[in-house]
Amino acid sequence: MARFAAGDQVVCQVRNRCIVSMYDSEYDEQRVFEIISVYDEGYFVYVPLDVDLRDTIYIDKSNYAKMNINKRFCDSDVYYITDFKVLSVYKQSDGLCCNRCGDFFYMSAPNQPDGTMVCWLCRAYPYR
Ligand SMILES: [Zn+2]
């Protein structure tokens, strides 16, 4: 399952006008991007006008729907990333990470006495 959801903000490393892997130790800058769509095994992030990246995808009426992107992002640029390009989470809302396995669950709420959340899988299979 996807670790992130639309609306989450993640930190990525940019080098040579490309978003590079989190394992890449050489980068020009670290920057926060907002995920606007979960697609296939990865995510589309919004590219602000002042950010100059190569290999962006221009969103217009012909392609927003099939990329699962909200119509309000028409006429903007997006960039496709996968999990290994996410260096860290800047802001993650509308959900919690499971206190046991660490997976993110969209729209989940605390269900433990200490205010943390343990996902149904970990509750069903405590020794997984
Ligand atoms: Zn879990």
Q: What is the pLDDT of residues 50-94, one digit of tens each?
A: 999 999 999 999 999 999 999 999 999 999 999 999 999 888 877
Q: How far is the CA of 43 from the centre of ligand 1 (A)?
A: 22
Q: How far is the CA of 121 from the centre of ligand 1 (A)?
A: 6
58 and 31 together in one domain: yes
Q: How far is the CA of 114 from the centre of ligand 1 (A)?
A: 16
Q: Is 78 helix (H, G, I), strand (E, B) or coil?
A: strand
43 and 13 together in one domain: yes
Q: Count other Cβ atoms within 10 Å, centred on residue 59.
A: 24
Q: What's the CA gap between 66 and 32, in Å, rounded? A: 25
DSSP assignment letter at 115: S
65 and 122 together in one domain: no
Q: How far is the CA of 35 from the centre of ligand 1 (A)?
A: 23
61 and 43 together in one domain: yes
Task: Work out the pLDDT band at 10, boundaries 50, 70, 90.
Answer: very high
105 and 77 together in one domain: no
Task: Return the percent helix, strand and coil in the chain, to nearest 5.
Answer: 10, 35, 55
Is the separation of the CB atoms in 52 and 29 below 8 Å?
Answer: no
Between the alpha carbon of residue 72 and those of residues 46, 89, 121, the distances in Å are 11, 24, 35
39 and 69 together in one domain: yes
Q: How far is the CA of 119 from the centre of ligand 1 (A)?
A: 4
59 and 107 together in one domain: no
Single out the residue of 21, 31, 18 nearest to residue 86, CA to CA: 21
Q: How far is the CA of 101 from the centre of ligand 1 (A)?
A: 4
10 and 52 together in one domain: yes
Q: Whole domain around residue 103: which residue ranges?
A: 94-128
- Tokens representing residue 24 in the block: 């890449």
Number of domains comprising the chain? 2
Q: How far is the CA of 96 from the centre of ligand 1 (A)?
A: 10
32 and 67 together in one domain: yes
Judge whether residue 102 has pLDDT over 70.
Answer: yes
Is the separation of the CB atoms in 64 and 73 below 8 Å?
Answer: yes
Judge whether residue 122 has pLDDT over 60.
Answer: yes
112 and 51 together in one domain: no
Q: How far is the CA of 13 from the centre of ligand 1 (A)?
A: 28
